[in-house]
Amino acid sequence: MHFAQAPPEPRQWEFFYPHFLFTLLLWEQEQNEAGKLARRIVRQLDSLWTFLEHEGVAPTDNRAERALRFAVPWRKRSLGTRSEKGNRWVEPDLAWI
> Does one domain contain both 96 and 78?
yes
Considering the domain architecture, whether residues 11 and 23 belong to the same structural domain is answered as: yes
Same domain (yes/no): 42, 68: no
Closest CA to 13 of 55, 46, 43, 52: 52
- Same domain, residue pair 97 and 87: yes
At residue 58, the pLDDT reads: 74
Q: How many domains does the chain have?
A: 2
* pTM given for the model: 0.53
Give tens-digit pLDDT for 1-26.
Answer: 566 667 778 888 889 889 999 999 99
Domain boundaries, position 86:
61-97
Are 27 and 44 in a shared domain?
Answer: yes
* Mean pLDDT of the region 22-42: 94
Cβ-Cβ contacts under 8 Å for 89 (sequence gap 6 or more): 81
pLDDT for residue 59 is more than 90 = no
Residues 18 and 42 in one domain: yes
Q: Are residues 25 and 51 in the same domain?
A: yes
Environment class of 42 (CB within 10 Å of its CB; exposed 0-12, middle 13-18, buried 19+): middle
